[in-house]
């Protein structure tokens, strides 16, 4: 079933609730503005790129908060090693406690060990 599919884009699917287990060919998932999404699919940890912008259902789920923390740490290590850079966009106005570098403004820069 769609063996060439690499990118899955589900934008503004407000009734979409759960991301199923994905085929191994999928590299990127964009599920922006899927306000009912409450997935617990840890398979997304293996993707090259994910975006869950304005998925408010995910913010209300402690398990997803914990998974997001694990995902951030995993992707940070994976991307730094693979490409030398990493980007993350966090919802809301608060910087999580687990984020070690904080600065008021729009940019945070830091030196990372080799």
- Tokens representing 42 are 């840890």
Dist CA 13 CA 11 (whole Å): 6
Threshold 0.85, pTM exceeds: no
3-12 per-position pLDDT tens digit: 899 999 999 9
Burial profile 25-54: b = 16 or more Cβ within 10 angstroms, e = fewer: ebeebbbebbeebbbeeeebeeeeeeebeb
10-58 per-position pLDDT tens digit: 999 999 988 888 888 999 999 889 889 887 676 776 788 888 888 877 7
Q: For residue 80, what are the domain limits?
A: 1-114
Dist CA 3 CA 23 (whole Å): 8
- Tokens representing 95 are 């910087």
How many domains, the chain? 1
């Amino acid at each position: 079933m769609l063996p060439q599919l690499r990118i899955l884009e589900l934008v503004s699917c407000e009734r979409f609730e759960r991301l199923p287990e994905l085929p191994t060919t999928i590299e990127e998932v964009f599920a922006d503005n899927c306000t009912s999404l409450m997935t617990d699919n840890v398979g997304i940890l293996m993707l090259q790129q994910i975006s869950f912008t304005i998925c408010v259902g995910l913010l209300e789920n402690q398990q997803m908060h914990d998974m997001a923390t694990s995902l951030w740490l995993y992707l940070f290590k994976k991307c730094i090693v693979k490409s030398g850079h990493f980007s993350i966009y966090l919802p809301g106005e608060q910087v999580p406690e687990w984020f070690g570098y904080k600065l008021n403004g729009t940019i945070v820069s830091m030196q990372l060990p080799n």
